[in-house]
Amino acid sequence: MAAMFTCCFGCCGEGGSGHIPLKEMPTVQLDTHHMGTDVVIVKSGRRICGTGGCLANAPLHQNKSYFEFKIQSSGVWGIGVATQKVNLNQVPLGRDTNSLVLRHDGSVYHNDEEKNRLPANSLPQEGDIVGITYDHVEMNLYLNGKNMHCPASGIRGTVYPVVYVDDSAILDCQFSDFYHTPPQGFEKILFEQQIF
């Protein structure tokens, strides 16, 4: 019996509290390890400016993901999803099989092909919020919370949120605490260990 207490107390360590610290869950943000060479990321990984593209630090593993971008300053920009093979120094994106993006002119491109287009009277302007849903088949776009009924598909493999800027554009990413309620069934991006 004394051996049991010795082992039990000995395991708690000499001077140790016996508590195991919990790991803090990472925050989804723009990934400074996966960005173009002339890109600047500020505001704790939420704002992009400069020239080029950047991936988020979390892939879209869950079935239905939602995220938003706010256009802080207009210019040339694009938002959507991309694989890690995308060339983040070559804008605009959407020229190859590694990205599917909405461009600032309202066109949606993948593999150098226009997949869809926003209505002419619904082009995102400075101050607008563009929401994106992705369900591993189709990307859909929302402008200030309104469904634009502008689906696009074709990208394959593991994808990440992507954003690119040029010509003085500045965009802010919102991966949680959204401006608009995500569509039913869609939720913020979860890291793989949060899914299980």
Look at residue 5 in the predicted model and tell me its pLDDT: 45
**So what's the pLDDT on residue 191?**
85
Distance between CA 144 and CA 136 in Å, rounded? Answer: 23
Residue keyed to tokens 């461009």: 103
For residue 31 the two structure tokens come to 């990934």
Strand partners, 152: 139
Q: 15 to each of 2, 4, 130, 149, 184, how far by Cα in Å?
A: 20, 19, 53, 62, 50
pTM: 0.86
Please report, for the chain, the start and end positions of each structural domain, with discontinuous segments joined by +.
30-174
Selection from 79, 11, 51 nearest residue 168 by Cα: 51
In this structure, the chain runs to a length of: 196
> What CA–CA distance (Å, rounded) separates 139 from 104?
16
Give the ranges where the chain is alpha helix by DSSP (H). 2-11, 192-195
Q: What is the b/e burial string over 43-58, where b = at least 16 CB atoms within 10 angstroms of the residue's CB?
A: eebbbbbbbbbbbbbb
pLDDT in the model for residue 192: 74
pLDDT digits (tens, 9 = 90+) for 31-70: 999 999 999 999 999 999 999 999 999 999 999 999 999 9
What's the rounded Cα separation, in Å, for the pair 167 and 49? 9
pLDDT per residue, tens digit, the chain (196 aa), is 454 444 444 444 444 555 555 566 789 999 999 999 999 999 999 999 999 999 999 999 999 999 999 999 999 999 999 999 999 999 999 999 999 999 999 999 999 999 999 999 999 999 999 999 999 999 999 999 999 999 999 999 999 999 999 999 999 999 999 999 999 999 999 987 554 4
Interatomic CA distance for residues 148 and 34, integer angstroms:
29
The domain 30-174 is classified under which CATH number: 3.40.50.10330, 1.10.10.10, 2.60.120.920, 1.10.3720.10?
2.60.120.920
Neighbours of 108 (CB within 10 A): 24
